[in-house]
Amino acid sequence: MDGVVSVLQKYPGLSVLAFSFIFRLVNRLVQIIPLPRVVEHDDFHSWKWRNLCVSLLHSLLSGTWAVTCVILWPEILENIYYYTPLSYILICVSTGYFVHDAGDIVLNGHSKGSWEFLLHHLLVSGCFLYALYTQRYVAGSVIALIVEVNSFTLNIRLLLKLIGAQSSMLYNMNKILNIFTYICFRLSAQLHITWSIIQNISWLDHSGYFLTIMIIMNTMILIYFYRLVRSDFFPQNKAYINHSGRHKDNSTKFLN
C-alpha cells in the first residue's frame, strides 16, 4: 500500500483524474442496466437516475470507508492533520468522484438546475486537493466524508421519488432514517470540523480560508435540512397551472 500511496502523493492531480475516469466507466456500466419504465421515456429523468445510481455507489463506498478509518484510527477525531495512507487514498477516490460528477452535470447541460451541487463540488474539491497536495487536513477530509453515510439515504430517497414511490413503506422508513443520518453523520461531522478549526485557528495553515468554507457549507446543509423536513413531513403541493392552462412543476430542478 505504501508504494501505491507514494505514487498518488507524487502525482495527486493525475491520481484524481484517474479515479474520475474510473467513475466515468462506472457511469457507462450503469447505462447498460435497464431503466425503470417510469423514467425511461424522459431524457432528464433517465440521466438523473443514472447520475444518482453512481452517486449511491460512491456514498456507500466513501461513507463506509470514512467510518472505518475513524474506527481504526480514532486519532482522526482529535487531530485534523492526522494522516494515514488509507485515508489519503480515500480522499483521492472521492475527489475523483466529485470531478466526475461535476463534469457529468455540465456536459449533459444541467448546470442551471444543479448549480448548488456544482458549488458544493467546487468547495469540497478545492479543500480535498489542498489536503492531497500538502498532506495536511487529511483527517479533516475523512471526517467530512462521514457525511456520505447520510448521502446514501438521501440518494435512495431521490431514486424512490423518481419512480413515484413516496407512499411506499420503504420511502416512509427511509425518511425517518434520513433525519437520523442527517443529524448524526452530516450535521455532527460538519460541526466537529468547524469547532476543530476554531479551536486551533491560531496555528492551522490557511485556517481563515477553511473556516470560511465551513461556514458556507454549514449554511447550505442547514438550508437543505429545512427543505428535507418540510418536503417529507410538511409537504405542500407546489404544482400550479400557468396562463396557458398547462400543468407546471419543478421536475427539471435536480435538487427538487
Q: What is the mean pLDDT of residues 153-169?
A: 94
Q: Which of 96-110, 219-233, 242-256 has the lowest mean pLDDT?
A: 242-256
Cell numbers found for residue 238: 407546489
247 and 241 Cβ atoms separated by less than 8 Å: yes
Residue 181 CA to residue 31 CA, distance in Å, equals 29
Min mean pLDDT across 26-35, 41-50, 65-74, 243-252 is at: 243-252
pLDDT tens-place string over residues 163-196: 999 999 999 999 999 999 999 999 999 999 999 9
- The whole-model pTM stands at 0.89
Q: How remote is the C-alpha of 134 from its chain's centroid?
A: 23
pLDDT number for residue 9:
78
Residue 152, helix vs strand vs coil: helix
State how far the Cα of 22 lies from the Cα of 30, in Å rounded to an integer: 12
CB 193 within 8 A of CB 140: yes
pLDDT at 244: 39
